[in-house]
Each structure stands twice: as structure tokens, then as C-alpha cells.
Copies of this chain bind each other. A is one copy, B any other.
């Protein structure tokens, strides 16, 4: 009834309409507070090519017993699911890419049932795009090799290396605690929901992909399709945003690299960068994020420190080349106890806020001067 207060003796009809307006606004407000107003949502594919296979199945009777066991199939396509909030305004969309042995489920509802980053970013007025990596989940994979092995057309040694993390490795490598089943005292990962997390872990078939991972190419195509996007990668895909930009930087407006090893100029990493590549990447604002307890898992004392150091070097080199790169080591930003799965940690919204602040300061606020080229 706030709207009617200024008037001492309002006519009855005014009260009616004021009440109507107030109720309508209140209802809309209440709905908006909890509900999501989605302007557009859906899914599509990026990339993909047609190849001939002589092994649709591993059976000589062919597909569904039709006798047909060869033909054209599509491979290397990347499935992308998206939502655009009603309030997205001119913010750049954020593309969130998952890591090893996971799907884009990583960014959805957390194992303990809280809102994932996909929804949190939506509520912060960002369109969100969630790809499944090529050869994973809804993107599918090329099953030809497997069927050829079954049919005796290939040796079993040709089998690509599938990989999956077991529960204990996940606990230790993802830094849920110092030893299996024990959490760090300030651990942010919802370890009480570890069983649910285990269900997210699925086989990783990336080893069967070519040297230039089609996911990288597809991410660069996605940025162009979106006419501007911020790419975020995690763990296995942590450097995928940069790999996409090295293929084609057009319309890639920001690079967010979470918890991975970074190649660098003259580094000891297997895949070094050239000065031309550093120069190319330095044109795009870059954020690198690491959580806590990097050296606190006794079984893997150097794993994360090594990766952190490699990315520190990368950040320095980007800045030395005139770029705008930030190393966000979360404890230095007031967030303690974060695991490798920081988008699922109990303080995931606070970590997201830090990333959103970086986006606003380093990408969005520069739009006016640089335009959406």
C-alpha cells in the first residue's frame, strides 16, 4: 500500500487501483525473488563433421539386425545447453566448460542440493552456456574403434585410454581432505554429499581425440556464434579458453582458467607457448583461479603447487606482454578452504561473486571504450 500513503483521503477507486498496482508489483517482486524469469533457453550443437564408419555396431548382423553395419555418422560435434535471463541486458554470455571425467553437470545443482553456478550467474543477469566436451556426455563420441576391435578389424591395443577417477583419488586430488574420508577443518566442499558427487564422475574419452581437440575449435566457433562470450574452463579444460583463442580469438571477450596447469613461454611444460601466442592471448583479459590447501594433501604434495606456479608464470608473461591477467588465489581474496571443485563448494556463491566482480571490472566496464568488436 506504499503507493497510496502520500494521499490523505484517496477516492475509493484510487485505493482500488493503488492496491491493484501494489499487489501486482508485489506479486511480480515475490515471484522474481525466488523464481527465474527466462527469456530464452534451449540446446544446440556446434561443429561436427560427417565420417564414414565400417562399424556401426560390433555385430556382423549390423544395426538392429538389419545387416547394415556401415554408413555415415557425425563426430566431433559439441552439445551446448543455454539459458538467457530476462534481465541479461548487454552482459556477455558466460560459457562454462567442465573438467576430466565430468560433464557440465559440474556447474548445475551442487551435490548437496544448492544452486549451481549456472543458475547463480543467470540470477546475476548473465546468459549461461554449458557445453559437454566433445567425446563426452550428450556430445557423444566416435564408437568406430571399439566396434572394429570387437569385430577383429583392429587389435585390442588400439583401444583408446578411457579414464575415470575412483572415489579415493577424487577425494585426494580434488583436495576434499588430507586422507580419504577425512576433510580439512575448514573444508568448503560439501563432503557429506560425497556419494552424490561420485555419481557425476563419468568416463573420459578425450584420449581418442586428435591433437587439436575439436572442443577448442568448437568453443571458438561458439564465441563467434554468440557475437561475444567469456569462456571459463576448469581443470582438464582449464586452458581450453586460451586454446580456443589461439585458434581464433574473434569474439572471445574474456578467459577464465580455473585450477589447471598452464603452459608458458620457455616453460618446462610439455606444451610451451611461443611469444606470438603469448602476444595473441595478451589481447584478452584473463583470470586464473585457484583454491586452498594446494600443498596440504600428503600423497600429492606437488601436484597443485606445480600447477599454481605454472599459471603464475603464465600470468606474469601475459602481463609482461601488455595484457591484463589476474591470478586469483582464493585465500588471498578472503575465501579459505576451497577444494578443486570450487563451483560446488559451500562458498560457491562468494567465489562466483569474486569472478563476476572481475568480469565487470576487466571485461564489461571496458566495453564502452573498446566496443563489441
A residues contacting B by CB (< 8 A) are 3, 7, 10-11, 13-14, 17-18, 20-21, 24-25, 28, 31, 34-39, 41-45, 48, 50, 53, 56-59, 63-64, 66, 68, 70-74, 77, 79, 81, 86, 103-105, 108-109, 113, 115-116, 119, 132, 137-141, 143, 146-147, 149-150, 152, 156-157, 159-169, 173, 195-196, 198-203, 300
Q: Please indicate the chain B residues that have their CB under 8 angstroms from the CB of A41 in the complex.
A: 36, 119
- Which B-chain residue is minimally distant from A47 (CB atoms)? B199
Min C-beta distance of A139 to chain B, whole Å: 7
Q: Please indicate the chain B residues that have their CB under 8 angstroms from the CB of A196 in the complex.
A: 44-45
Min C-beta distance of A303 to chain B, whole Å: 9
Docked pose: A18 CA to B167 CA in angstroms:
61
The answer to whether A37 touches B35 (Cβ under 8 A) is yes
The answer to whether A202 touches B68 (Cβ under 8 A) is no
Once A14-B17, A73-B166, A163-B57 are accepted as A-B contacts, the answer to whether A146 and B143 lie under 8 Å apart by CB is no
The answer to whether A42 touches B137 (Cβ under 8 A) is no
- Which B-chain residue is minimally distant from A85 (CB atoms)? B35
Docked pose: A105 CA to B103 CA in angstroms:
14
B11, B13, B45: which contacts A199 (Cβ < 8 A)?
A: B45
Q: Please indicate the chain B residues that have their CB under 8 angstroms from the CB of A18 in the complex.
A: 17
- Which B-chain residue is minimally distant from A58 (CB atoms)? B161
Docked pose: A34 CA to B132 CA in angstroms:
27
Once A20-B17, A24-B25, A105-B138 are accepted as A-B contacts, the answer to whether A146 and B159 lie under 8 Å apart by CB is yes
The answer to whether A149 touches B149 (Cβ under 8 A) is yes
B147, B199, B203: which contacts A77 (Cβ < 8 A)?
A: B199
Q: Please indicate the chain B residues that have their CB under 8 angstroms from the CB of A109 in the complex.
A: 42-44
User: Known contacts A17-B20, A140-B202, A143-B164; can you find 19 more A-B pairs with CB under 8 A?
Assistant: A7-B13, A14-B17, A17-B17, A31-B86, A35-B39, A37-B37, A43-B105, A43-B109, A44-B196, A45-B199, A45-B200, A57-B164, A66-B169, A79-B105, A79-B199, A103-B140, A138-B138, A143-B203, A156-B156
Docked pose: A115 CA to B28 CA in angstroms:
25
- Which B-chain residue is minimally distant from A196 (CB atoms)? B45
Q: Please indicate the chain B residues that have their CB under 8 angstroms from the CB of A63 in the complex.
A: 163-166, 169
The answer to whether B34 touches A35 (Cβ under 8 A) is no
Q: Please indicate the chain B residues that have their CB under 8 angstroms from the CB of A200 in the complex.
A: 45
Q: Please indicate the chain B residues that have their CB under 8 angstroms from the CB of A162 in the complex.
A: 57-58, 143, 146-147, 150
Docked pose: A181 CA to B193 CA in angstroms:
50
Docked pose: A71 CA to B180 CA in angstroms:
12
Once A14-B17, A162-B146 are accepted as A-B contacts, the answer to whether A71 and B169 lie under 8 Å apart by CB is yes
Once A42-B108, A146-B159, A162-B146 are accepted as A-B contacts, the answer to whether A73 and B198 lie under 8 Å apart by CB is yes
- Which B-chain residue is minimally distant from A84 (CB atoms)? B35
Q: Please indicate the chain B residues that have their CB under 8 angstroms from the CB of A113 in the complex.
A: 42, 44
- Which B-chain residue is minimally distant from A198 (CB atoms)? B74
Docked pose: A253 CA to B122 CA in angstroms:
34
Min C-beta distance of A271 to chain B, whole Å: 16
The answer to whether A161 touches B150 (Cβ under 8 A) is yes
Q: Please indicate the chain B residues that have their CB under 8 angstroms from the CB of A39 in the complex.
A: 34-35
Docked pose: A141 CA to B201 CA in angstroms:
10
